[in-house]
């Protein structure tokens, strides 16, 4: 159980673990406290067999403002940190469970990287998104690893160099997030996305995430070989046997969460 004063709120319902960034007074900036809490909650969700998908959202009007500029050494790993922001981004990408983001507040700096790291991000259309680092004399270095593969070079140059904030609709157009929707429809849109995702087999979802992250970086000959082996192993798995049987019998597979 989590307390309302915790840096993140955490709960599990119908196979979905929800992690809520809960430092609105500090615009959910990436303080040591918040990063540690996010890392702990991610670990909780990954090790819970009841969790099929992980959903991030926020308290307050800012999803995440990036580096904690109130810290003594902003952007520098602190000795008391149990987790690093880099490791959290990598854990989200490597997570065998789908990780989704319900972006209900503004995103700047590292917050953009967090939103871009999610497998599916849906934002309220009244928020703003921006790589604002250059305005304070730094650069979006770490999050470029996440964001550059999603952006055309022209868009990346414009957004990185100008530091301008853009509406969520533009962030979706350039590929940083998946969709922007009216705020009153945000929760409904996210719930629909989650419902679709959890209908997939756990191993199949993990394999699909691997395809998205690995295949674009592989030589074509290596990709053919690896994907053929992966496909064969999946088709021979008990999960596929159950999924195909459920399809033929016109029923939900055993892994689909029950209401």
Q: What is the pLDDT of residue 257?
A: 85
The model's pTM: 0.93
Instruction: Note whether 185 and 137 are same-domain residues.
Output: yes
Instruction: Note whether 67 and 32 are same-domain residues.
Output: yes
Number of domains composing the chain = 2
Boundary residue ending a domain (177, 197, 217): 197
Asked if residue 140 belongs to a domain, the reply is yes
**pLDDT, tens digit (0-9, with 9 covering 90-100), for 106-125:** 999 999 999 999 999 999 99
| Contact between 63 and 106 (Cβ < 8 Å) | yes
Instruction: Note whether 229 and 139 are same-domain residues.
Output: no
**Segment 207-233 mean pLDDT:** 95
**Phi, psi (degrees; rounded to nearest 5) at 165:** -90, 140
∠ CA 43-200-55 to the nearest 5 degrees? 40
Closest CA to 172 of 212, 216, 112, 109: 112
């Amino acid at each position: 159980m989590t307390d309302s004063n915790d840096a993140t709120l955490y709960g599990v319902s119908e196979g979905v673990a929800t992690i809520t960034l809960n430092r609105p007074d500090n615009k959910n900036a990436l303080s040591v406290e918040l990063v540690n809490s996010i890392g702990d909650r991610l670990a909780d969700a990954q090790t819970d067999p009841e969790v099929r998908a992980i959903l991030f959202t926020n308290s307050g009007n800012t999803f995440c403002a990036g580096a904690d500029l109130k810290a003594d050494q902003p952007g520098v790993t602190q000795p008391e940190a149990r987790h690093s922001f880099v490791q959290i981004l990598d854990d989200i990408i490597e997570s065998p469970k789908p990780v989704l983001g319900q972006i209900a507040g503004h995103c700047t700096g590292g917050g953009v990287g967090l939103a871009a790291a999610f497998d599916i991000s849906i934002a309220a259309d009244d928020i703003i998104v921006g790589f604002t680092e250059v305005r304070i004399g730094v650069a979006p270095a770490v999050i470029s690893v996440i964001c550059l593969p999603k952006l055309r070079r022209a868009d990346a140059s414009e957004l990185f160099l100008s530091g301008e904030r853009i509406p969520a609709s533009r962030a979706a157009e350039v590929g940083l997030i998946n969709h922007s929707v009216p705020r009153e429809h945000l929760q409904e849109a996210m719930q629909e996305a989650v419902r679709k995702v959890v209908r997939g087999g756990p191993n199949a979802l993990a394999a699909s995430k691997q395809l998205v992250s690995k295949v674009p970086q592989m030589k074509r000959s290596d990709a053919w070989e690896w994907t053929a082996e992966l496909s064969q192993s999946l088709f021979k798995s008990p999960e596929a046997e159950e999924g195909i049987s459920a399809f033929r019998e016109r029923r939900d597979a055993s892994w689909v969460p029950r209401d």
